[in-house]
Chain A
Amino acid sequence: MDYVNLRRQAASLRKGLFDQGYLDEQFYQLEDLQDDASPNFVEEVVTLFFRDSARLMANIDQALDKCVKDFNKLDVYMQQLKGSCTSIGASRMKTECTAFRECCRDENIEGSHSLSILNLCMRSFQKIKREHSVLRQKLESYFQLLRQAGPVECATRPNK
């Protein structure tokens, strides 16, 4: 098993996530919290995030489906989702959440155009879903590589 190569692949994937703006510095904070006492902390938090965000997004989906014009409620869900994104450093998702909330706020000004606002919200939400899906895929690949690469001791053992 070429642990060094696997580690390199994982590192490269990770770098890509930062370079392409999928993750921000908050993710470093999570990595800093990982230690011997919590050796899988990052993956645990990320797993929790995807489970929780899927739930929130299902709520939002349902609300949008029913053409609920309670934009305040949508905003509350989105605030929660954005909060979670912020906590793990999911930067692109966070940006899209902000954009969605802007749509909801517009409604307060132009109350009579709620249908078009709803449309904007739906489109914005599609973007969030896409980012969610891409991030999930990439992070799952990343953690899989890490798992295959094994603990750091393997990689750092002299292996010429």
Chain B
Amino acid sequence: MASYAGSKSTGGEGSSREPHVLAVDDSLVDRKVITSLLRKSKYRVTAVDSGKRALELLDTEPNVNMIITDYSMPEMTGYELLKKVKESSELCQIPVVIMSSENVPTRINRCLEEGAEDFLLKPVQLSDVSRLCNRVLR
């Protein structure tokens, strides 16, 4: 019987060539839409409903290439999640994108200053996602 080298994928150590994006949004509808937008752009997606769950996942799953998070969430906002990610030595390299349905310049600036890669206004379009991913994930 053949013995497998460990990883269930073919090829090298990464499970697939597609970048893995972690989407965070408390809205059921928005999670479904953003997941589809990212999948359509050929990314592997994991969607969670809170900052807390995002951090839990980041703890166990090392291969996240980008985080895209809603700003307005109960308990932990997208901004707070961004801060936590940037303050962590393991996670700070991961680009974080914020989404919001509200166009508040001070909010946008604060996020960018805290290290957000980009700030997208909802509803997010396919063109936003492909432009973003081309730049961030190369």
Chain A positions within 8 Å of B, measured between CB atoms, are 26, 29-30, 32-33, 35, 37-38, 41, 44-45, 48-49, 52, 79-80, 82-84, 86-89
Q: Does A29 contact B123, Cβ atoms closer than 8 Å?
A: yes
Let me know if A87 and B40 touch, CB within 8 A.
Answer: no
Size bin of chain B's contact surface: 10 to 19
Q: In the complex, how many angstroms separate the beta carbon of B123 from the nearest chain A beta carbon?
A: 5
> At the interface, is chain A mostly helix, strand, loop or mixed?
helix
The interface of chain B, by Cβ under 8 A from chain A, is: 26-30, 32-33, 36-37, 39-40, 72, 101, 122-123, 125-126
Q: Is the CB of A86 within 8 A of B33?
A: no
B-side contacts of A83, CB under 8 Å:
27, 30, 72, 101, 122
A48-B28, A79-B72 known; A87 vs B36 contact (CB < 8 Å):
no
A89, B126: Cα distance in complex, Å: 15
> A84 touching B40 by the CB < 8 A rule?
no
Distance between Cα atoms of A91 and B131 in the complex (Å)? 26
Closest to A80 in B: B27
Contact residues in B for A86 (Cβ distance below 8 Å): 101, 122-123
The smallest beta-carbon distance between A107 and chain B, in angstroms, is 19
Question: Quick check: A29 and B125 within 8 Å, CB to CB?
Answer: yes
Instruction: Please give 14 more A-B residue pairs, beta carbons under 8 A apart, in addition to A80-B27, A87-B30.
Output: A30-B33, A33-B40, A37-B39, A38-B36, A41-B36, A45-B32, A48-B29, A52-B29, A79-B72, A80-B26, A83-B30, A84-B27, A86-B122, A88-B29
| Residues of A close to B101: CB separation below 8 A | 79, 82-83, 86
Whether A45 contacts B27 by the Cβ 8 Å rule is no
